[in-house]
Structure 1
């Protein structure tokens, strides 16, 4: 485990090195294979998780059985914190998109840190505020943005976390299937594929298996507005 990756999580921000090491030591390690489910929507467990390596997707199932992806998370990102403040059932299903290493912290252990470390409480409040802001953005996008605009925005978001600068542009190895990309955007696979094909025809992107190279970031960013 890379301690620098773990300390990218909001939970560790503001902690001194000794305190961060103590918090890391209180966490358990979980290894997941691709496709393994960490928890299901409706489960009642109350642990907080931090991604150390790999990718995790958070999804919800609709009444018709179709899945909607809420987020795709990578190293340094945290999830599951809602259950620490609201001990109801899990609001999503967490599944490994790739082989992944996860660190978990039990509710009772975190309460100790919240009581003695106000900086931890502030970091968690900032995380929750960010989650609410993103949820508001998603609602606004569904109301005001067309599918190509949402696809462009999703590509930029994935690039910001998983992108690698190359001589041609930004290579984004997102590890998602076409169906998962559609679920992330909140549209049908056919509509999302049509938007991606249009971007490729215009020379903005190059499509590759479970990845994409953004050749013209400016054009994609303009389409995302």
Structure 2
């Protein structure tokens, strides 16, 4: 397990080495294979998770069976914060994208942690505030942005977490299917594919299998506005 990645997680950044090591010992490690469900929407939840290796997608399903992908998270990111403060039904389904390793903190371990390190409460509140801000931004995008703009923004967002330098740009190995990418931006697969094809024809990106190379990041940023 990469301890550097664990220490970068917001839950650990407020702690010194000794306190972080103590917290790590109280957390449970979970390993998932590709496309394995960690928990489902509606399941009782009382645990926060930090991703150590791999990726996790969070999604919801409507009453008529339509699916929406809320987020794709990678190493160092955490999710399930709400269940620490308010154990109850999960509001999303968490599924591994590839082989994934996580560590989980249960609700019963939270109070002793906050009593000993109250600064952790501020970190968790900041994480919840970021989550709320992101939700508000997503709602605004659905109202005010067209599909190509949302696609550009989603690719840029994925690149900040999963991108790495390539010879001709930034390689983003998102590991998502075309349908999942469409769910992430709240549009049909056909409309998203049309936007991607347009970007590719302009030389802004190159499509690969479950990946994309961003070749003109500045143009994509302008399109995302």
Query: Could you say what secondary structure the match of 2:168 adopts?
Result: coil
* Number of equivalences: 225
Query: Could you say what secondary structure the match of 2:114 adopts?
Result: helix
**What is the rounded CA distance, in whole Å, between the counterparts of 1:66 and 1:182 in structure 2?**
12
**What is the rounded CA distance, in whole Å, between the counterparts of 1:55 and 1:96 in structure 2?**
6
**What is the rounded CA distance, in whole Å, between the counterparts of 2:52 and 2:46 in structure 1?**
19
Return the offset for 1:45: 2.6
Return the offset for 1:167: 2.3
**What is the rounded CA distance, in whole Å, between the counterparts of 1:84 and 1:99 in structure 2?**
25
TM-score, L = length of structure 2: 0.98
The residue number in structure 2 matching 1:208 is 208
Return the offset for 1:104: 0.6
The residue number in structure 1 matching 2:170 is 170
Displaced runs of 4 or more, over 4 A: none
How big is each residue's C-alpha offset from its partner over 1:86-144, in whole Å with a ceiling of 9 and x where there is no partner? 22200000000011001011111122111221111010000000000000000000000
Return the offset for 1:208: 0.2
Moved more, 85-94 or 149-158: 85-94
TM-score, L = length of structure 1: 0.98
**What is the rounded CA distance, in whole Å, between the counterparts of 2:133 and 2:142 in structure 1?**
14
**What is the rounded CA distance, in whole Å, between the counterparts of 1:128 and 1:98 in structure 2?**
26
**What is the rounded CA distance, in whole Å, between the counterparts of 1:19 and 1:76 in structure 2?**
18
**What is the rounded CA distance, in whole Å, between the counterparts of 2:223 and 2:73 in structure 1?**
24
The residue number in structure 2 matching 1:55 is 55
The residue number in structure 1 matching 2:40 is 40
**What is the rounded CA distance, in whole Å, between the counterparts of 1:188 and 1:114 in structure 2?**
44
1:218 aligns with 2:207: no
How big is each residue's C-alpha offset from its partner over 1:23-54, in whole Å with a ceiling of 9 and x where there is no partner? 11111111000110000000013111000000
Superposed counterparts of 1:38-117, under 5 Å:
38-117=38-117
Give the unaligned 5+ runs of structure 1. Answer: none
1:156 aligns with 2:156: yes
Return the offset for 1:163: 0.2
Return the offset for 1:8: 1.2
Give the root-mean-square deviation of aligned CA atoms: 0.7
Asked if structure 1 preserves the Cα contact closer than 8 Å seen for 2:85 and 2:107, the reply is no
**What is the rounded CA distance, in whole Å, between the counterparts of 2:133 and 2:115 in structure 1?**
26
